[in-house]
Structure 1
């Protein structure tokens, strides 16, 4: 999972358009003055929340989040959003965004289509504190902009739901054009199902076919990287505990602060298994011991958690095709030459 957010440079431009001092916002948030001058603006979840809290304080405008989320020009949308606008409707556009969101931030977009309603919520995966009010409003306003741009209408959501109480509730209702509810289980924006399934006038099959493969390739690389990093994490945990006994799945799952079932599921999703990673961990350590130490074969077998040298020998022949003694001699000879 990515640990940082990419903040679009256009946020600074929009702040200026609404008369908000970018310098004052960055100073209030405790962020570098040249943040938006960087080629890629990357911030942690804590820094992102600090940035949006600062926007609220510096602007002194209870509707600043709503205003910043309004977008009417196609060229100002992110390429991923442009691809979403090229899909069939708001449901498929949101699903598109949810699928590729993991490529840009530690955030999830949750959506659900029912008979009467279509809900969209945003979950900040690494958040400790509650999300800033202004950020919630920004996300809701941006979703409305996407829906209106795609349908070519001035549709309004059915309602917006907030976890926390909001003092400017009536003002928000007028701005969003719908009912606002507090004390909800999550912050979410709700559209009519009929609006969410209205065909997009921006649908562009040719453009989507051009952009989608690029996103899919990035997603494939990201997924492979995530899978490899998790397998490597498990492998290191096993190797750290290969000290005279074979660590069990329960021991490793406890070390990684997850249940055995979760560990097993994640390994399966990565195309592996606990036994396979255990074998790989032992194989790596066996090569290391035989190449870089003067340990006897029975000592190596013990450290790798094998019951006896014969069991180790059989396993090593499976890995390398030769007995461990022959492998060691060959590599010692190669080192000398």
Structure 2
């Protein structure tokens, strides 16, 4: 498989300031100081843990229990975001039974990326202004030269999270605000986040009957797992709008980046997603593994999901670029 290519815009884009060109009601209230401090904590601490992985391995062992807990919690919370927050709540790629709807909101909350309604509002705004003025996290925000792109990549990856003004939930997610269950899960987000961080330690301690087992599970399946999950998810905002190929026509610079396909559960097939946002499957070409789509398929077979918007060959053919026009 060929190496991913750096996409080159044909003309310099206009700077995409986060609130420029937005309707007056598109921006919600300012984040409180407590919210900012909490955000720094959940971003910085797992990142530091991730950076400490190598010396940690040298200091003490990594058990198979730690590996199993880390992988299990990683994909449980990741699929809560990819299947739940993204394909279901944001884009309506399928309809879900009530227990599944609430379960996906809880699982997504355990990815520690924010309450479901705010996450959806941010992402819908991203699609409304993708790589243009108003996009909350475009890597092309500052221009196309090397320095501007480095600055833009940092902004798209995590810098945008620290913007003081929130995207308006009332404008971009009014449908979710009508669901008292989702609002309640959002209000108890800190509980689900704490459960995600500390439950692996509880399991590790109970299984090994030791504080050492609790600590290693907390480190690997709690902190390191969340740090890895954050950066994989953020890479969809940054890497997958700059590096990769674009086999389908979209009005922005969303790309496919195959090295992240497994770790992102299919989200890195980002070009097709922006070409056909409501499609339940993002990896539609031969060899494109899409774990999230397979999970949705299983939900459909179990009767938990219905009206799934699977790929339409006619629509795909209409959006397919000729080989000569594929970026790279």
Normalising by structure 1, what TM-score?
0.23
Normalising by structure 2, what TM-score?
0.23
The one of the two structures with greater contact order (alpha-carbon pairs below 8 A, sep at least 6) is 2
Greater CA radius of gyration, 1 or 2? 1
Relative to its length, the structure with more strand (as a share) is 1
